[in-house]
Copies of this chain bind each other. A is one copy, B any other.
Amino acid sequence: MASAFSIRHFILGLLTREPMSGYDIKRFLKGLGWLIDSPSFGSLYPTLHALLRDALVTVEVIPQQDKPPRKIYSITNAGRKTLRKWTDRSGVSGTSLKAFLMRLILAGNLSHDDLIAHLERRRTQVAAHLEQTVGAAEREADMGERLALEYGLAMANAELVWLDSTLTQLSHRS
């Protein structure tokens, strides 16, 4: 049901920024480091083929000498529509870090207000999680479990700090 994240949508999202080849997409994701572990070619290329089949993207084949041709994919209007539908519904239920990050990366497509709304939604979610776990860490007797919970709390707090400072910066620039 409404899978929170899939490379299908991520690819579609990246293509709203600019046309890219499969290899380009892979390199881009790898460049983001550990935040999002980039998919293997074994899933990347077949996904691109499927998007093409569903007419959500088009290809332009650029031949090269002594190398396989570069295949530059561009998103179509149908693709944009599909992406928007997914974006709209994932805003409501999407709690996953990956979904949040994808929308963040695609911030260029969002209006100023939409970006702020996105960060504020995340803030609400993180704050709720924090409140839910804050007591558990102190109560916990087992060292390992306590360490893990404390780690989680530290990360959640750090995220709140980042979200707040980013939100402040954005509102100043508005």
Q: Interface of A with B (CB < 8 Å)?
A: 17, 31-35, 95, 97, 101, 104-109, 129, 132-133, 136, 142-145, 147-152, 154-155, 157-159, 161-162, 166
A90→B107 CA distance, assembly (Å) = 36
Give chain B residues whose Cβ lies under 8 Å from the Cβ of A104: 144, 147-148, 151
In the complex, A39 Cα to B63 Cα: how many Å?
46
- CA A136 – CA B33 in complex, angstroms? 11
| CB-defined A-B contacts under 8 Å, sample of 13 | A32-B152, A34-B129, A35-B148, A104-B144, A104-B151, A105-B144, A105-B145, A108-B144, A150-B162, A154-B158, A155-B158, A155-B162, A158-B158
Which of B31, B148, B162 sits near A101, CB closer than 8 Å? B148
Which 4 pairs between the two chains have the least Cβ-Cβ distance? A158-B158, A107-B144, A154-B162, A105-B144
With A142-B17, A158-B158, A166-B147 known to touch, is A35 a contact of B152 (CB < 8 Å)?
Answer: yes
A27 CB to closest chain B CB, in angstroms? Answer: 13
Residues in B with CB closer than 8 Å to A161 are: 154, 158
Question: Given the complex, which residues of B lie within 8 Å of A17, measured CB to CB?
Answer: 142, 144
When C-beta atoms are compared, the residue in chain B nearest to A28 turns out to be B145
Tell me if A32 and B148 are in contact (CB < 8 A). yes
* A145-B162 Cα distance, complex, nearest whole Å: 16
Which residues of the other chain, B, contact A101 by a CB distance below 8 angstroms?
A: 148, 151
Q: A158-B158, A159-B155, A162-B151 are in contact. Are A33 and B108 (CB under 8 A)?
A: no
